[in-house]
Chains A and B, each alone.
Chain A
Amino acid sequence: MASMGEFMPIVILLGVAALVCAAMVTLSWVLGPKKVTPYKASPYECGVEPSGTARERFPIKFYLVAMLFILFDIEVVFLWSWLTVFKNPGMGSPETDLAFQWFSFCAVMVYMVLWIIGDAYVLRVNALAWDEAPEIHEAKFGAPEAPAATPIPDAALQPAGGGK
């Protein structure tokens, strides 16, 4: 038979937490007055009339962050079991312990080298640079070695604004 064993109190904790959360959310809904007016019920946009829908598309950068998070997260998950046995392997004798430590240490170092390659790649291609453009178009801003006599036109002094 399945037995919760040590996890039983955790299940109770989750149950109590769920009850408390549900009570908090429901009570205010029950206790408060209800006088809905069209202005109250409209989405808040700083007091002006809301325009358009909020279900806009959003930048793919968030998606990339989530994907990279999953991949690195799984890399850490593989290591947790090793962390618990690396210091005290408990393989039987001191010799086998040391052999296990040395072997698993080498295995994890190879793993970490691959991790670092991945991380270095992420940083090198600027995958998480939030302002997307690593360079600014010289046509827009004037090259640094522009001739001294030509004044920079006003348009060139417009704020950077992402460069695209």
Chain B
Amino acid sequence: MDTNLIVFLAMALVAAVAAVGVVAMNNPVRSALCLVVNFFVLAFVYFSLRAELMGISQILVYTGAIMVLFLFVIMLLNLGGRGGTLEERPDVKPGIGVGLGIALFALIAFQVLFPLQASATPRAPDDYGLPQTVGRNLFTTYVLPFELASVLLLVGIVGAILLAKRKM
């Protein structure tokens, strides 16, 4: 078997196990940690698809920043303490959830996997996903969304401070 395939499968396995861990763990801090692992490995899946800037942004933003906030919020709300652990009770909800999950997976598989199998291996252009390519496109075609993003972030800054600051 191809080394690339082995590495890809290993990473996909880690990502999948971590994703299951996010919902299966009782302690929210552990769930968050699983999500960190999942995001991190997902970045390498992006790399394997040659979306380099995308993958590294995934690590920088999701793994490095947003998940820190998640952990903070969990700890701030004191969910991880002994009293805060969710109790196990016999319930039908997990069963329904699993059933719906399988159904959703079947739906996606039916829509995506089968058509893909029939098609030839898609090939991206050589400079696909490079920071340079992204830069050239972002600052010519998509410059308006770029500026709007900065307005959005400004609103985010003001909102965060208004919410968290007791008085100005």
Question: Which A residues are within 8 Å of any B CB, using their own CB?
Answer: 1-5, 7-8, 10-11, 53, 55-58, 60-64, 66-75, 77-78, 80-86, 89-91, 100, 103-104, 107-108, 110-111, 114-115, 117-118, 121-122, 125, 127, 132
User: Please, what's the 1-or-0 string for B110-134, where 1 marks a CB less than 8 Å from any CB in chain A?
Assistant: 0000000000010000000001101
Asked if B48 and A4 make an inter-chain contact with CB atoms under 8 angstroms apart, the answer reads: yes
**C-beta contact mask, B45-81 vs A, less than 8 Å → 1, else 0?**
1011110010001001100111011001101101011
Compute how far the CA of A32 lies from the CA of B103 in the bound complex, rounded to whole angstroms. 50
> Looking at chain A's contact residues, is the secondary structure mostly helix, strand, loop, or mixed?
helix
Cα–Cα distance between A55 and B158 once the two chains are bound (Å): 30
Stretch at the interface among B18-26, B90-98, B160-168: B160-168
Q: Which residues of B contact A78 (CB under 8 A)?
A: 138, 146, 149-150
CB nearest neighbor in A for B75: A58
List, in ascending order, chain A residues with CB within 8 A of B69's CB. 63, 66-67, 70
Question: Of all chain A residues, which has the CB nearest B121?
Answer: A1
B72 and A75 form a contact (CB under 8 A): no
Verify A100–B139 contact, CB threshold 8 A: yes
The interface residues of chain B, by DSSP majority, are classed as: helix
Known contacts A3-B4, A84-B132, A85-B136; decide if A117 and B164 are in contact (CB<8 Å).
no
Q: Chain B, interface size: which category?
A: 35 or more
Q: How far is the CB of A57 from chain B (nearest CB, A)?
A: 6
Q: Which residues of A contact B44 (CB under 8 A)?
A: 4, 7, 10-11
B residues near A2, Cβ cutoff 8 Å: 4-5, 8, 45, 48-49
A164 to B60, CA, bound (A): 38
User: How many residue pairs between the two chains, A and B, have CB atoms under 8 Å in the bound complex?
Assistant: 166
Q: Which residues of B contact A (CB under 8 A)?
A: 2-5, 7-8, 11, 44-45, 47-50, 53, 57, 60-61, 64-66, 68-69, 72-73, 75-76, 78, 80-82, 84, 121, 131-132, 134-136, 138-140, 143, 146-147, 149-151, 153-154, 156-158, 160-161, 164-166, 168
Which residues on the B side are within 8 Å of A77 (C-beta)?
57, 60-61
Partner among A62, A107, A117 whose Cβ is within 8 Å of the Cβ of B154: A117
A60 in contact with B160 (CB, 8 Å): no
Nearest 6 interchain pairs by C-beta: A81-B135, A85-B135, A55-B81, A104-B139, A2-B48, A81-B134
Which of chain B's residues has its CB closest to A14's CB? B44
A to B CB contacts below 8 Å, 17 in the list: A1-B121, A4-B44, A5-B50, A55-B80, A63-B69, A67-B164, A68-B160, A70-B61, A78-B138, A80-B57, A81-B132, A82-B139, A83-B135, A85-B132, A90-B136, A118-B154, A127-B161
What separation, in Å, do the CA atoms of A76 and B53 have in the docked complex?
13
Say whether B164 contacts A121, CB under 8 Å: no
